[in-house]
């Protein structure tokens, strides 16, 4: 649809919709929301600007990719389309997944999150903090789920649907059961066993992608301490070594894309807010 047609089509819908369809109200509201029909009429470019905060969804810059939440990208590339004159499909194709080198960097940053905390499951328990140990295990479980989605080239949805999206991947290696066991474990030994089993399976998945040089997937002792870990930093190094794009290699630190350092709903759902974070990636 062209911009000059928006008002005409909007008026036609406003006046033409019935009050009910198959017994269901066409116009509805909630809380302070007045009943309306919730049919939006707009152009592809205007919709993308509102949803993503970009003027051209076909040509995202490196910083645009980094600062746009996965749940927002998923909202553009997923879902049914019943009619398209070609203007939407070209955008969907462009946003289907990250450019290869950026994907590698984001994978490395996700492995970095695991490397930062994998020893803390044991170390928290060692000082009598069982609750802290469980919390770290839960954080690592969430990071492994998101890593599995990244490996599958699948954008992570809003938190409410993360488990559903993870389940849809299918897990013939039993990764889903290992993560369930890690969360349900009552003892450090069981918790650590489930997590290290999961680490090895995700490491094997990494090697199967053949994006980097192979990395030994076997868990190991954390230096001379009793914690068992994967040593996820090795996977970080492998990912970064495979990046060829100079612009990606010059990104500051390993903060990752926005989903890897921010999880506040009011940030990730609002382009006017999250686009202010582009400065994080500027030198």
- pLDDT tens for 147-194 read 999 999 999 999 999 999 999 999 999 999 999 999 999 999 999 999
- pLDDT given for residue 193 in this prediction: 97
Q: What angle do CA 96, 101, 105 make, to 5 degrees?
A: 100
Count of C-beta atoms within a 10 Å radius of residue 45: 16
- pLDDT given for residue 57 in this prediction: 82
Question: Mean pLDDT of all residues in the chain?
Answer: 94
- pLDDT given for residue 9 in this prediction: 84
- pLDDT tens for 50-99 read 999 998 788 899 999 999 999 999 999 998 999 898 889 999 999 999 99
Distance from C-alpha of 52 to C-alpha of 54, rounded to nearest angstrom: 5
Distance from C-alpha of 6 to C-alpha of 41, rounded to nearest angstrom: 6
Contacts of 216 (CB under 8 A, 6+ apart): 234
Mean pLDDT score, 5-23: 87
* Least reliable range by pLDDT among 24-33, 191-200, 243-252: 24-33
- pLDDT given for residue 158 in this prediction: 95
- pLDDT given for residue 1 in this prediction: 67
- pLDDT exceeds cutoff 80 at 283: no
Give the burial class of 229: count Cβ atoms within 10 A of its Cβ; 0-12 exposed, 13-18 middle, 19 or more buried.
buried
Mean pLDDT score, 138-145: 98
Tokens standing for residue 100: 């290869």
**What is the torsional sign of CA 168, 57, 252, 263?**
negative
Distance from C-alpha of 234 to C-alpha of 277, rounded to nearest angstrom: 29
Give the burial class of 206: count Cβ atoms within 10 A of its Cβ; 0-12 exposed, 13-18 middle, 19 or more buried.
buried
Coil, strand or helix: which one is 89? helix
* Least reliable range by pLDDT among 40-54, 96-110, 117-131, 242-256: 40-54
Mean pLDDT score, 34-46: 87
Distance from C-alpha of 86 to C-alpha of 14, rounded to nearest angstrom: 26
């Amino acid at each position: 649809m062209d911009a000059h047609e928006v008002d005409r089509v909007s008026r036609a819908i406003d006046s033409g919709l019935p009050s009910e369809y198959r017994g269901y109200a066409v116009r509805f509201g909630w809380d302070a929301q007045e009943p309306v029909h919730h049919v939006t009429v707009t152009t592809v470019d205007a919709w993308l600007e509102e949803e993503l905060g970009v003027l051209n969804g076909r040509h995202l810059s490196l910083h645009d990719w980094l600062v746009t939440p996965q749940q927002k990208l998923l909202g553009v590339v997923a879902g049914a389309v019943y009619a398209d004159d070609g203007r939407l499909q070209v955008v969907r194709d462009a946003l289907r997944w990250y450019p290869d080198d950026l994907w590698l960097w984001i994978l490395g940053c996700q492995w970095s999150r695991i490397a930062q905390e994998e020893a803390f499951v044991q170390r928290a328990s060692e000082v009598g903090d069982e609750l802290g140990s469980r919390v770290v295990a839960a954080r690592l479980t969430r990071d492994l789920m998101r890593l599995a989605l990244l490996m599958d080239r699948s954008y992570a949805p809003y938190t409410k649907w993360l488990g559903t999206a993870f389940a849809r991947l299918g897990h013939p290696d039993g990764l889903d059961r290992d993560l369930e066991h890690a969360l349900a474990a009552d003892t450090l030994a069981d918790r650590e066993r489930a997590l290290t089993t999961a680490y090895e399976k995700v490491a094997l998945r990494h090697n199967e992608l053949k994006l980097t040089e192979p990395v030994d997937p076997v868990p190991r002792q954390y230096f001379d301490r009793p914690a068992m870990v994967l040593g996820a930093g090795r996977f970080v190094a492998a990912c970064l070594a495979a990046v060829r794009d100079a612009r990606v290699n010059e990104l500051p630190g390993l903060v990752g894309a926005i989903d890897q350092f921010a999880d506040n709903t009011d940030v990730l759902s609002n382009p006017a807010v999250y686009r202010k974070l582009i400065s994080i990636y500027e030198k």
